[in-house]
C-alpha cells in the first residue's frame, strides 16, 4: 500500500544506492556530467558565432540533478525532460550530434528543423526506442502527458516507469496540478521531479509558492515525497532510484524535490540582474556538482587524476566530432515545411501565391530516419 | 518630440494610464523587478510599487481569472502574457468566464490582456503564434493589434479605458524595429477604427500588424510597375471597421487580404464574406488572400520563411488581381 502521507519515505537503515555503485558506474556518471557541460560550452561558442538559430538554455550547475536522476531509469522506462535536462537526455541516449543539429535548425535534425533545442523525442515500444519524450514550451503540460504514458504501462501490465521533470515555476501551472493529481488517484508508476533551482526566469521561489518546500505538496496530493541535495550526483541517484523502485513496485506517484541552483540566466541573453550579489559566485565556488563529484572520486574513491583526464579528453573529442558532423549537415529545404502536419494526406499543395514552389520535389530521397517523423507517404 | 519604439510606446501608455488612474495595475510573470521578458514594463515597479506591478506565479488561468475578479470590483488590470502563445492556457477563463460576464450577469470586466505575438523571429512553434482568430470568434472580447508605434500607444490607452476586456496583441518583430513620434497630449486611438496606411487607386490591401509593413514594401515595388496600391491597416479586429473596408473596396474594386495568421478560419475569410455580402457589385476580381500556410510555425529560417507571407507573395497576388 502506498503511504497515506506525503512525508518522505523513511530512510531508516537503507543502503545509499548511489554510494554503493561500483566505480565503473560512478565514472559513467562523471562522463555524463562532463559531456553535458562540454556540449553546452560548445553550444555557447556556436551561439556566439550566430550558428544557433534561437535562444540557448544552459543547465550549468544542474548537471548532477539531470544526470543522477535519469541514470536511475532503465532503458525501457520513459522520461520527459525540460530545457535544463540536457544531461538526462544524453543519459537516455540522445546524441550530441542530434542536440547540435537541433540548435542549428538543420534539415536532418531529429525534428527536421521544425523544433528547437532539446524539444525532440524518441518514444515507443520498450527495447525499440530510447524512451524520451519531446517537451513543448508551455510549462507543466508534460505532466498530464506522462500520466497518459504511465497509464498505458499500467493498462498493458508493462514493467515500466515514467519520469517527468518540472521546474519550481512550472509547479504553479494548472496542468502540473491536474496531471499529478490524476496520476496519484490512478496510482500510476510516475516519478515527478521538481528541480528547485531558486528561480523561474527572474522570479524567486518565494514569489512562486508560499509553501516552505515543494516536497510538502506531496501530502496534498497523497503521494510519497522526498527531497535531496540536487548537486550531489550520488544522492540524486540514490533518491531517484528508490523512488523508481517504489513506483515500479506499484506504490504509485513519487514526488521528488532536488535542491539546486541555476547559475546562468534563463537563457544566454538574460543578464541575471535580479540575482543578489555574490549568490552565483558562492554556488560556483562551493557547490559545483562536477567539482564536488571530482573530489569524491579523487579523495574517497581513490580514482587517479589521469583517469578523469582521459574521460575529459574523450568527451572533448566526441564533442568536436559531433560539431563537425552537425556543421556539415544541410539546412532544410523550404518545401520540407509542407510535410507531416497530418498522417494522411502527408503532402499539401503550397498556397497559390507560391506558384513557383514545386511540390513534386517532395518526392526526393530523404536522409535516413525521415520516415519515422513524417508518417506514411512522406518519403 | 523624440522618436520612440513601438515597445517604448506601449510602456509610455501603461505609465501614463497608471499615473492617471489609480485603479490601473499590472500583473504577469517577471514583469516587476525584471521589467518583463521583453522589458515592456521596465521601471514601472520602481515607480508604482509592488502593489500595482505584481509579479505572478506561472499561472495564466490564475492571473486572468484574478484580473476578472478585480475588474468586477472597479479595478482596471492589465495582464501580461510573457508570450501570447500562453494565452491558450487561459482560453477557458477568457472565453467561458470573461467574455460572457457582462451578458450573463451584467458584470463589467474592464481589463486588458496583452503580450508579444507573431513570427518572423525564428521563435519556433511556441513563441511565434498569432492566436487572434479564436478570440475574434468569441463575442464579448475586443481584439486590437497595432502596426505602428503611435497606434501601439493610442490603442493601449483606449484599451485600458475600455469598459470591456480587450486583448492587445503586440507584434514582437515590431517591438524595436518600428519607431514613431507620439502626438502631444492625451493620445488615444479609438478601438474599432481602421487607418489608411497608404492611399492608392488600383488595388486595396487590407491587413494588420507586421504584414502592414510587408504590404507597404510590396506597394513600393508595385508602384515601380505603375500599380497604385492602397493599404488599410485594420488596427482593431473586433470590432471590425466595416465602413473603412467597404470604402476602400468601392474605391479600388480589387481586394487582397493579408495576414500572418494561418489561412483556414483566419479573419481574412470573415472579411471576404462581409465584402461579398455588402460590396459584391463593386468587385472587379475575386477577393484574394495571402496568409500563412496551415502549418504549425517551424523553427528553421528556411521553413519559417516558406510558411509565413513574404513581400514577394503579396506582389504576386496583387499582380494577379490587376491582371484579372
Ligand atoms: C505556461 C507557460 N507560461 C509561461 C512560459 C514562459 N516561461 C518559459 S520558462 C519560464 C520560467 C520557468 O521556470 P522553472 O519552471 O522554474 O524552470 P527553470 O527555467 O528554472 O529550469 C517561463 C515563465 C511558459 N513556457 N509556459
Same domain, B175 and B84: yes
**Cell representation of residue A143:** 505532466
Query: Containing domain of residue B72, as a range?
Result: 4-180
Q: Based on the fold, state whether residues B246 and B132 are members of the same structural domain.
A: no
- Determine the Cα–Cα distance for residues A165 and A83; give it in Å rounded to an integer: 10
Q: Is A132 in the pocket of ligand 1 (CB under 6 A)?
A: no
Q: Which of B132, B154, B180 represents a domain boundary (last residue)?
A: B180
Residue A199 pLDDT exceeds 80: yes
pLDDT in tens, chain B (324 residues): 789 999 999 999 999 999 999 999 999 999 999 999 999 999 999 999 999 999 999 999 999 999 999 999 999 999 999 999 999 999 999 999 999 999 999 999 999 999 999 999 999 999 999 999 999 999 999 999 999 999 999 999 999 999 999 999 999 999 999 999 999 999 999 999 999 999 999 999 999 999 999 999 999 999 999 999 999 999 999 999 999 999 999 999 999 999 999 999 999 999 999 999 999 999 999 999 999 999 999 999 999 999 999 999 999 999 999 999
**Percentage of residues in chain A with pLDDT exceeding 90?**
83
Q: What is the pLDDT of residue A2?
A: 40
pLDDT for position B295: 94
Residue at grid coordinates 517604448: B8
The pLDDT score that the predictor gives to residue A126 is 85
Residue A11 pLDDT level (bands cut at 50, 70, 90): low
Same domain, B156 and B263: no
Residue nearest to atom 9 of ligand 1 (CA): A201
Do both B164 and B217 map to the same domain?
no
Task: Tell me the average pLDDT across A1-14.
Answer: 51
**Residue in A40, A85, A200 to alter for ligand 1 test, most ligand atoms within 8 A of Cβ:** A200
C-alpha cell, A189: 508508476
Q: Answer yes or no: is B128 within a domain.
A: yes
Residue A22 pLDDT > 80, yes or no? yes
Instruction: Give the per-residue pLDDT at A14.
Output: 76
Would you please indicate which residues of B are annotated as catalytic (active-site) residues? 127
The answer, yes or no, to whether residue A363 has pLDDT greater than 70, is: no
Ligand 1 close to Cβ of residue A199 (< 6 A): yes
Q: Is residue B157 part of a domain?
A: yes
Which of 57-116 (B) contact A at CB < 8 A? 57-62, 82-83, 85-86, 88-89
Q: How far, in Å, CA of A202 to CA of B120, rounded?
A: 26
With a cut of 50, say whether residue A375 has pLDDT above it: no
Question: How many Å apart are CA B13 and CA B73, to the nearest integer?
Answer: 23
Give the strand pairing for B76-80 and B24-28: parallel
Q: Which of B180, B212, B227 is the last residue of a domain?
A: B180
**Are residues B243 and B317 located together in one domain of the fold?**
yes
Chain B stretch 240-279, residues whose beta carbon is closer than 8 A to a beta carbon of chain A: 263
Residue B185 lies in a domain: no
pLDDT for A4? 41
In terms of domains, do B207 and B174 share one?
no
Reading the block at residue A280, the C-alpha cell is 552565483
Q: Do A113 and B125 touch (CB under 8 A)?
A: no
> How many structural domains comprise chain B?
2
The torsion angle over the Cα atoms of residues A136, A139, A143 and A149, rounded to 10 degrees, is 0
State which ligand 1 atom lies nearest to the alpha carbon of A82: 21
One domain for residues B27 and B156: yes
Of the residues B120, B153, B180, which one is the last residue of a structural domain? B180
Is B126's C-beta closer than 6 angstroms to any atom of ligand 1?
no
**Looking at the structure, do residues B142 and B265 belong to the same domain, yes or no?**
no
- ipTM (interface predicted TM): 0.93
**Å between A38 CA and nearest CA of chain B:** 25
Which residues of chain A have a CB within 8 Å of the CB of B37? 201
Q: Do B268 and B164 share a domain, yes or no?
A: no
- Pair (B145, B239) in one structural domain: no
User: Measured between alpha carbons, how far apart are the two ends of chain A, in Å?
Assistant: 50
Nearest CA in chain B to A137: B126
Write the DSSP assignment of B36-72 as a string of letters: -TTSTTTTHHHHH-TTTEEEPPS-HHHHHHHHHHHHH
Domain assignment present for B199? yes
Same domain, B112 and B211: no
| Ligand 1 atom 6 nearest Cα | B82
CATH of the domain at B297: 3.40.50.920
Show residues of chain A in contact with B307, CB under 8 Å.
337
Q: How far is the CA of A166 from the centre of ligand 1 (A)?
A: 9
Instruction: Give, as one character, the DSSP assignment of residue B254.
Output: -
DSSP letter at A63? H
Chain B residues with beta carbon closer than 8 angstroms to that of A136:
125-126
Closest residue on chain B to A173 (Cα): B59
In the three-class reduction of DSSP (H, G, I as helix; E, B as strand; rest coil), residue B231 is classed as: strand
| CB B1 within 8 Å of CB B181 | yes
Per-residue pLDDT tens over the stretch A267-312: 999 999 999 999 999 999 999 999 999 999 999 999 999 999 999 9
Q: Tell me, yes or no, whether B189 lies in a domain.
A: no
DSSP state of A126: B
Which atom of ligand 1 is the closest one to the Cα of A139? 26
Distance CA A189, CA B131 (A): 36
Please list every residue in chain B whose beta carbon sits closer than 8 Å to the beta carbon of residue A115.
124-125, 298-299
Q: Is residue B190 part of a domain?
A: no
**Does residue B22 fall inside a structural domain?**
yes
- Distances in whole angstroms, Cα of residue B183 to Cα of each of B1, B3, B19, B274, B322: 8, 11, 18, 33, 37
pTM score: 0.94
Residue A342's pLDDT is what? 83
CATH of the domain at B69: 3.40.50.970
CA of A172 to the centre of ligand 1 (A): 10
Which residues 6+ apart lie within 8 Å of A102 measured at CB? A109, A110, A111, A115, A116, A117, A118, A119, A120
- Give just the sign of the alpha carbon dihedral B60, B61, B65, B66: negative
Answer yes or no: do B47 and B157 share one domain.
Answer: yes
Residue pair A189/A150 in contact (Cβ under 8 Å)? The answer is yes
Query: Is the residue at B187 inside a domain?
Result: no
pLDDT score, position A340: 83
Q: Is the CB of A173 under 6 A from ligand 1?
A: yes
Amino acid at each position: 500500500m502506498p503511504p497515506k502521507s506525503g512525508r518522505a519515505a523513511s530512510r531508516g537503515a537503507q543502503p545509499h544506492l548511489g554510494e554503493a555503485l561500483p566505480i565503473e558506474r560512478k565514472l559513467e556518471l562523471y562522463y555524463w556530467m562532463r559531456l553535458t557541460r562540454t556540449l553546452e560550452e560548445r553550444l555557447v561558442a556556436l551561439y556566439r558565432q550566430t550558428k544557433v538559430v534561437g535562444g540557448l538554455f544552459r543547465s550549468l550547475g544542474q548537471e548532477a540533478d539531470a544526470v543522477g536522476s535519469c541514470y536511475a531509469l532503465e532503458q525501457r522506462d520513459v522520461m520527459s525532460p525540460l530545457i535544463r535536462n540536457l544531461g538526462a537526455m544524453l543519459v537516455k541516449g540522445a546524441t550530441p550530434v542530434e542536440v547540435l543539429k537541433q540548435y542549428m535548425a538543420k534539415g536532418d535534425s531529429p525534428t527536421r528543423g521544425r523544433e528547437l533545442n532539446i524539444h525532440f523525442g524518441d518514444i515507443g515500444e520498450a527495447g525499440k526506442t530510447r524512451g524520451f519524450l519531446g517537451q513543448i514550451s508551455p510549462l507543466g503540460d508534460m505532466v498530464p502527458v506522462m500520466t497518459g504514458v504511465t497509464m498505458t504501462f499500467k493498462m498493458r501490465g508493462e514493467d515500466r516507469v515514467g519520469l517527468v521533470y518540472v521546474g519550481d515555476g512550472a509547479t504553479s501551472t494548472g496542468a502540473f496540478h491536474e496531471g499529478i493529481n490524476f496520476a496519484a488517484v490512478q496510482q500510476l508508476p510516475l516519478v515527478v521531479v521538481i528541480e528547485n533551482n531558486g528561480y523561474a526566469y527572474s522570479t524567486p521561489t518565494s514569489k512562486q509558492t508560499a509553501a516552505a518546500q515543494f516536497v510538502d505538496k506531496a501530502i496534498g496530493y497523497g503521494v510519497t515525497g522526498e527531497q535531496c541535495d540536487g548537486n550531489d550526483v550520488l544522492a540524486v541517484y540514490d533518491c531517484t532510484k528508490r523512488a523508481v523502485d517504489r513506483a515500479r513496485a506499484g506504490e504509485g506517484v513519487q514526488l521528488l524535490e532536488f535542491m539546486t541552483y541555476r547559475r546562468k540566466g534563463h537563457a544566454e541573453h538574460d543578464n541575471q540582474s535580479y540575482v543578489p550579489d555574490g549568490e552565483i559566485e558562492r554556488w560556483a565556488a562551493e557547490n559545483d556538482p562536477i567539482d564536488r563529484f571530482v573530489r569524491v572520486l579523487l579523495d574517497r574513491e581513490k580514482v587517479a587524476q589521469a583517469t578523469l583526464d582521459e574521460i575529459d579528453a574523450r568527451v572533448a573529442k566526441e564533442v568536436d566530432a559531433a560539431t563537425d558532423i552537425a556543421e556539415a549537415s544541410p539546412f532544410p529545404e523550404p518545401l520540407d515545411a509542407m510535410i507531416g502536419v497530418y498522417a494522411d494526406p502527408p503532402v499539401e499543395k503550397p498556397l497559390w501565391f507560391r506558384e513557383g514552389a514545386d511540390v513534386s520535389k517532395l518526392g526526393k530521397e530523404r536522409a535516413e530516419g525521415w520516415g519515422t517523423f513524417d508518417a506514411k507517404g512522406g518519403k | 518630440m523624440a522618436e520612440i519604439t513601438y515597445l517604448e510606446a506601449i510602456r509610455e501608455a501603461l505609465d501614463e494610464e497608471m499615473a492617471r488612474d489609480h485603479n490601473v495595475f499590472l500583473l504577469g510573470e517577471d514583469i516587476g523587478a525584471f521589467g518583463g521578458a521583453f522589458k515592456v514594463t521596465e521601471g514601472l515597479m520602481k515607480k508604482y510599487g509592488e502593489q500595482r506591478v505584481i509579479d505572478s506565479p506561472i499561472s495564466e488561468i490564475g492571473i486572468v481569472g484574478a484580473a476578472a475578479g478585480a475588474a468586477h470590483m472597479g479595478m482596471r488590470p492589465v495582464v501580461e502574457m510573457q508570450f501570447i502563445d500562453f494565452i491558450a492556457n487561459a482560453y477557458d477563463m477568457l472565453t467561458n468566464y470573461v467574455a460572457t460576464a457582462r451578458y450573463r450577469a451584467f458584470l463589467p470586466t474592464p481589463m486588458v490582456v496583452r503580450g508579444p505575438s507573431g513570427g518572423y523571429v525564428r521563435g519556433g512553434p511556441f513563441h511565434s503564434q498569432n492566436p487572434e482568430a479564436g478570440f475574434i470568434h468569441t463575442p464579448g472580447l475586443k481584439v486590437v493589434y497595432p502596426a505602428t508605434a503611435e497606434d501601439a500607444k493610442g490603442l493601449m490607452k483606449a484599451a485600458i479605458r475600455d469598459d470591456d476586456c480587450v486583448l492587445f496583441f503586440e507584434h514582437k518583430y515590431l517591438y524595436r524595429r518600428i519607431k514613431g513620434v507620439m502626438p502631444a497630449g492625451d493620445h488615444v486611438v479609438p478601438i474599432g477604427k481602421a487607418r489608411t496606411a497608404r492611399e492608392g487607386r488600383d488595388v486595396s490591401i487590407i491587413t494588420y500588424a507586421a504584414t502592414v509593413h510587408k504590404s507597404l514594401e510590396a506597394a513600393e515595388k508595385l508602384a515601380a510597375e505603375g500599380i497604385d496600391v492602397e493599404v488599410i491597416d485594420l488596427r482593431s479586429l473586433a470590432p471590425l471597421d466595416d465602413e473603412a473596408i467597404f470604402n476602400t473596396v468601392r474605391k479600388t474594386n480589387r481586394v487582397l487580404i493579408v495576414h500572418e495568421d494561418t489561412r483556414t478560419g483566419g479573419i481574412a475569410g470573415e472579411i471576404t464574406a462581409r465584402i461579398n455580402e455588402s460590396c459584391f457589385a463593386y468587385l472587379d476580381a475575386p477577393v484574394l488572400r495571402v496568409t500563412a500556410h496551415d502549418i504549425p510555425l517551424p523553427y528553421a529560417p528556411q521553413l519559417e520563411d516558406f510558411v509565413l507571407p513574404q513581400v514577394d507573395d503579396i506582389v504576386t497576388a496583387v499582380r494577379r488581381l490587376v491582371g484579372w
